[in-house]
Amino acid sequence: MSTDATLANITDAEQGSSLWKDAWHRLRKNKMAVGGLFVLMLMCIAALLTPWLAPYSYEEQNLILGAAPPSAQHWLGTDTLGRDLLTRLLYGGRISLAVGFIATAVALLIGVLYGTVAGYFGGRIDAVMMRLVDILYALPFMIFIILLMVIFGRNILLLFLAIGAVEWLTMARIVRGQVQTLRQQEFVEAAVSLGLSQWTIISRHLIPNTLGPVIVYTTLTIPSVMLFEAFLSFLGLGIQPPQSSWGLLISYGVETMEEYPWLLIFPGLALSITLFALNFLGDGLRDALDPRTSKD
C-alpha cells in the first residue's frame, strides 16, 4: 500500500477507533462469515414480515385435512390439527429469534459490564460482586423464573428478560477472568499513566481485548437460550398455544416423529441453519476483531 493511499485511508478513519473499521474490512473478506450474516439477515427479515408473508393464519385449523405431507397448498405440510407448518414455522421463528437475540443481548450487556467492573476494580468490590454472582448461580433458576412469572404475570418480554438475567452470570465470570489478566499488562498501566479516565481504560483498552471469548460464548448462548425457551414453554411457563416457537415445534415434532417426520424435520432444519449461520458469523467476528489473525 502506498503512503498516499494509507493517508487517505486514515483521514476517513479518524472517527473513533479504527479497530471496528478494520474488523469490518476483514469480516467482509471472510466468505463463510458473510454467508452466515446473510442467512441471519434473511431470517430476521422473514420474521419481521411474517404477517404479510405467511400463507395462512397461525391458528387456522383444518381438522378434516389433519396431518398432511408437503403439497402445493401446504409447502411444508400440516400438523395434526391441520395447521400450515410453514406459517407456524414463520411465526415460531419470530419468537425464537427474538428470544435468542434479545435475551443474549441482555446477557451480553450485563455480563460484560459487570465482569469488567469486577475484574478491573478488584479487591473488595470484586469480592462482593462475584459473591453475588455465586449466590445467583446457586439459586435454582426455575424457581426464580416461576416466581417472576407469578409476580409479573405471563409476558413474552418478561420471558426475554428472565432468561437474559440468568445467562449473564457465566458471561460475567468469563469477562472478569479476562480482565483480571489484562489489567496486569503494562498497556493498562501505560493508559493509567497517560491519565486516561477509568471509563476510557475500560471501554477502549479492556473490553476490546476480551471480545474473543465473549463472541464465542455469545454464539453458544443464542442456541441454548432458544432451547431454553422451548423447555420453559413445554412446562407451560413460556409461549402458550396456539402461539409457537421453533423449540416447541421441535418438541411436538419429536412426539410424532414416526408417523409425521416432516413435523420434526422442518423446524429442526430451521434451527440448525440458524445455528450454522451464527457459528460462521461468530468465528468470522472473532478473527476479524483480532488484528493478530489477519494475514494481509
Binding residues for another protein, rule: CB under 8 A, are 1-3, 6-7, 9-11, 13-15, 17-19, 22, 121-123, 184-187, 189-196, 198, 200, 204-205, 208-209, 289-292
Q: Which is nearer to another protein, 173 or 205 (CB)?
A: 205
Closest distance to another protein from the beta carbon of 282 (Å) = 18
Residues 275 and 224: beta-carbon distance below 8 Å: no
Residues 108 and 171: beta-carbon distance below 8 Å: yes
Q: Which three cell numbers stand for residue 273?
A: 441453519
Closest distance to another protein from the beta carbon of 129 (Å) = 14
Closest distance to another protein from the beta carbon of 178 (Å) = 13
Q: Which is nearer to another protein, 5 or 72 (CB)?
A: 5
Cα dihedral across residues 9, 12, 14, 15: positive or negative: negative
Closest distance to another protein from the beta carbon of 208 (Å) = 5
Phi/psi for 78 (5° steps) reads -130, 165
Q: Which is nearer to another protein, 71 or 185 (CB)?
A: 185
Indicate the burial class of 8 (C-beta count within 10 angstroms; 0-12, 13-18, 19 or more).
exposed
Residues 128 and 281: beta-carbon distance below 8 Å: no
Question: Rounded to whole angstroms, how far apart are CA atoms 79 and 263?
Answer: 7
Q: Which is nearer to another protein, 40 or 289 (CB)?
A: 289
Q: Which is nearer to another protein, 3 or 63 (CB)?
A: 3
Residues 139 and 174: beta-carbon distance below 8 Å: no
Closest distance to another protein from the beta carbon of 214 (Å) = 13
Residues 145 and 87: beta-carbon distance below 8 Å: no
